[in-house]
Structure 1
Amino acid sequence: MITLLGAFILLIIGYFVYSKVVEKVFGIDDSKKTPAYTEQDGMDYVPLSSWKGSLIQLINIAGTGPIFGALMGALYGPVAFIWIVVGSIFAGAVHDYFSGMLSVKHKGEQFPSIVGRYLGNGVKAFVNVLSIVLMILVAAAFTASPAQLISSISPISFTMALLLVFCYFILVAVLPINKIIAKIYPLLGVILIFMAAAIAVALMFDGKAIPNITLENLHPGELPIWPLLMVTITCGAISGFHATQSPIVAKTLQKESDGRKVFYGAMIGEGAIALIWAAAGMTFFGGTAGLQDALALGGPAGVVNDISTSLLGTMGGVLAIICVILLPVTTGDTALRSSRMLLSDMLSRFLKFEGKAKIFLVTGIVSVPTFLLATIDYSFLWRYVGWTNQLSATIMLWTATVFLLNHRKFHWICGLPAIFMTGVAGTYIFYAPEGFQLSYGISLVIGTIITIIVIIWYIRKIIQAHKLKNTPTIKAA
């Protein structure tokens, strides 16, 4: 109990204190018109209030991520609390703030274009492909999971449920942001927050002891904490998927000072939700072994239903269904919308026409592989989301680091978490089942070597910045 309350307090302090540090380092100017006004098109660039933008951002980046991921991460024990809190404050929220505000700074540019400005066109080309693959994987995974649940609780077949969900995805991808997203998502954001808060209150009065902090690895399968925990809990700590979603809301910001509430604040909110569900997973089933058994029996969706129904009764059951059906849908549809924007930017030199014809054409191109992937095993898809997700986060942090170096600003706020995430991504891919499947020891050595090489590059950039301190900018790598 004390650990959970302390974790909440730290997240609150992180928002009210560290977010202001991050905002000051970035440098905002409310006298400048945002892209919502300078590029206003009635489709993607539409001014929205900060409260609405915050709730849309929360739903875009969250979905079931901070619930399912936190439950899987809870298998490691209370050490997951540390990663959620530290990751959210110093890595995830910083990542989200810079991915959103750099998009605002550059007229609502997408993630790959921002990367290209600061890390060069070679990295941009790689990130273009990586981002579209990630978006398609996420959209496919979040088409399949709600379709599976719909077919299990109704007479609708899986194929028909898949088609219904996917038709909705396409509708959201091609309609103006203020038609569906701006109207429905704030309400879903409130539901997500209410559900988490209700679970937290019920958990505290349930009589079961919420585990206190320990660094001990309690995973029943004896899987290593590093780097698996950091890839298991992504949306509740740091997620590269957010870098592809933040530009959606960046196109709607009314003023630059809204960025702290919308981007940094939404990530802190997501961290709080992850904390609640990690604590619920560890507590409700009497420890990590019980949680593992429950996950094996009913999967994350079944665990959410068990916890919600037992703690909140009938209302909990209804909220659980909303959670595991509607929330994945809200992530999948914006993932498809993002992939439409990304591919549209990539093909801009070939597709000289604009307007609805281009929107429908590009949406159709990304829809075909998304739908086909949605028909295969959901767990298989999700394994490949994890690493591409954290690699994207690493690249975004390095992009922000170079931006700060270029502008003679305190680059360490992005550089240090970028180094950490380099180690995570560099180690995980060599150890993971979906990667090279090398031994843990060899994977650690390779990951360390990769991290050292990147640190050397970083030091060279710092030295270059000091040598060129009298020049207005530093040429991007």
Structure 2
Amino acid sequence: MTLFLIGMAILIVGGFVYGKFCENVFGPDDRKTPAYTKQDGIDFVPMKGWRNTLINLLNIAGTGPILGPIQGILFGPVAFITIPIGCILAGSLHDYFNGMICNRNGGAQMPKVVTKYLGKSTKTLYLIFSSILLLLVGVVFTYTPGDLIVKDILGKSTAADSTILWVVYAIIFIYYILATVFPIDAIIGRIYPVFGAFLIVSAIGVLIGVLTSGGADLGNIKGLITAADGTQTEFLGGFMGHFSGVPFIPVFFITVACGILSGFHGSQTSIISRTIESEKQGRMVFYNAMIMEGLIAMIWAAGAMVVYNRTGALNTNATLMVGEISRTFMGKVGGLLAIIGVIVLPITSGDTAFRSLRLQVAETFKIDQKNPAKRMGLAAALFVPALAILIFAKTNANGFNILWRYFGWANQTLAIFALGMTTVYIYTHKKGSYYLISFIPALFYAFITFSFILHA
């Protein structure tokens, strides 16, 4: 419990101090933002700071800050220190500078600003990488909520030949198309506050449960490992070490992913850069939203540690653990609420992933997005490969595992581009060695991603 509370304190206090430092390095001023200078009623729409913050939080918080930490805590209590430190020094810095640099460049999408600061030679590589990642995000966040709805809400089979499953997938896709082409304040800006309630209430419920009854089980991971032949082996972990023997570096950082750093967030902060009313809202909207995601990650990691240590079932699937954690701390009603939250979270990331992909492709190929027919046509074209990938993932026995593996690696790799862009921006706009605040995390994650893919 002590280490968990120390980690939470580091995240809150450190986030406040370092967030202010990052703000001073960037230097926001009173200039008019693109929400006003380019206002079009579709993507460039001024919105209040609290709404932008909540929307950005929901955009970036898919299942990553829940499923990632649930798996990451199996490396031991070290996660309670590495998550907050990484979130402060890498993830929140990444999101803040991405959003603010895009804002300063007229609300441009990431491929354009990356090209501006890293050179034209990176444009094609970044565009291909980011487009594939956004497509994979959209597919992953159709697959996950679709299966949860069919299995846990409707009580039906999630086999590939299930008609009801594909109907649910179709409904999610239809929602994505609407959210992708309609003005941002018509759908996303109106319904996200409702979705936000599920996310926040679920996290608070788990936190209260951990603080009031879980302290005794917040320690080194212990339990039973079940082999393929059904035999069980007792595992007694230490401060750091996974029961399967995988190395902490690089696997931990790829596993936790969004709870520490995510390249996907760059595509989301660039959207919100078009709706902030003032540059001075940036720290709350971008930096603090990632700190909030870090808090969510810490809470679910703690909840998972308690349940793992109580049940001893270390092989439990991360998705199933969501329900176990929720029912343990919030009862049956709370468990249902959490399941709804885990359904909502990926959907709120999936819709904006497709929106980002549309904007990115439109900006690259100069496709007019003020024309509704062109918006709809481009959106429909993007859903064709998404459907093909979804069919592969569902019909192939190992399809989803392959999809998730490359999604996770690509996610962290994409963040290196953004950190590199931030480094060049700071170096050219700020005297001294301030550029090191993004250059060092970029070097660290270059090592993490390359070592992971070379040994995967």
Structure 2-normalised TM-score?
0.90
| CA–CA distance in structure 2, aligned partners of residues 407 and 353 of structure 1 | 32
Match of 1:448 in 2: none
Q: What is residue 130 of structure 1 aligned with on the other side?
A: 129
Which of 403, 407, 425 is residue 381 of structure 1 equivalent to? 403
Q: Distance in 1 between matches of 2:111 and 2:219?
A: 41
More relative contact order in 1 or in 2 (CA 8 Å, sep 6+)? 2
* Matching residue's letter, 1:13: V
- Which consecutive unaligned segments of at least 5 residues does structure 2 have? 157-162, 222-236, 394-398
Amino acid at match of 2:287: Y
Structure 1 position 324, deviation (Å)? 2.4
Pair 182,15 (structure 1): closer, same or farther in 2 beyond 3 Å: same
Aligned pairs for 1:79-94 within 5 A: 79-94=78-93
User: Percent of aligned pairs with the same residue?
Assistant: 41
Match of 1:271 among 294, 301, 304: 294
Paired residue for 2:450, among 417, 423, 426? 426
- 8 Å contact from structure 1 (residues 55, 190) kept in 2: no
User: Number of aligned pairs?
Assistant: 424
Checking the alignment, whether the CA contact within 8 Å between 2:25 and 2:430 is kept in structure 1 is: no
- Following superposition, the deviation at residue 191 of structure 1 comes to 2.2
Q: How does 1:25-424 map to 2 (within 5 A)?
A: 25-30=25-30, 32-152=31-151, 153-154=153-154, 157-207=164-214, 208-211=216-219, 216-286=239-309, 290-295=312-317, 300-348=318-366, 351=367, 354-375=370-391, 376=393, 377-409=399-431, 410-424=434-448
Kindly state the Cα deviation for residue 253 of structure 1 after the two structures are TM-superposed: 0.4
Maintained 8 Å contact 1:61/1:331: yes
Give the conservation status (yes or no) of the 8 Å contact 1:64–1:323: no
Which ranges in structure 1 are unaligned for 5 or more consecutive residues?
Answer: 433-477
User: How far 1:217 sits from its partner (Å)?
Assistant: 3.0
CA RMSD of the aligned region, Å? 1.7
Moved over 6 A (4+): 212-215
TM-score (norm. length: structure 1) = 0.86
Q: CA 1:352–1:201 in 2, change beyond 3 Å: closer, same or farther?
A: closer
The 1-side partners of 2:82 and 2:125 are apart by 29
Conserved? CA contact 2:220–2:239, under 8 Å: no
Q: Could you tell me how far 1:285 is from its partner in structure 2?
A: 1.9
Amino acid at match of 2:242: H
CA distance in 2 between partners of 1:184 and 1:83 (Å): 34
Separation of aligned partners in 1, 2:373 and 2:349: 25
Amino acid paired to 2:349: T
Structure 2 SS opposite 1:286: helix
2: distance between equivalents of 1:13 and 1:310? 30
> Does the CA-based 8 Å contact 1:66-1:235 persist in structure 2?
yes
**Secondary structure, aligned partner of 2:14:** helix
Which deviations, in whole Å up to 9, do the C-alpha atoms of 1:115-144 show, x marking residues without a partner? 001101111211111111000001001101
State the secondary structure of the residue aligned to 1:217: coil
Q: 1:321 to 1:353 in 2, by over 3 A?
A: closer
Deviations 1:140-175 (A, max 9, x none): 011011111222232571111111111111110011
State the Cα deviation string for residues 430-463 of structure 1 (Å, max 9, x = none).
Answer: 111xxxxxxxxxxxxxxxxxxxxxxxxxxxxxxx
Say if 1:423 and 1:293 are closer, same or farther in 2 by CA, change over 3 A.
same
Contact 1:75/1:291 (<8 A) preserved: no
- Contact conserved, 1:79 with 1:215, CA < 8 A, in 2? no
Q: Secondary structure at the match of 1:269?
A: helix
CA distance in 1, matches of 2:39, 2:64: 31
How far did 1:380 drift? 2.4
Retained in 2: the 8 A contact 1:136–1:336? yes
Contact 2:54 2:192 in 1 (8 A): yes
Q: Distance in 1 between matches of 2:341 and 2:135?
A: 21
Q: Does residue 19 in structure 1 map to residue 19 in structure 2?
A: yes
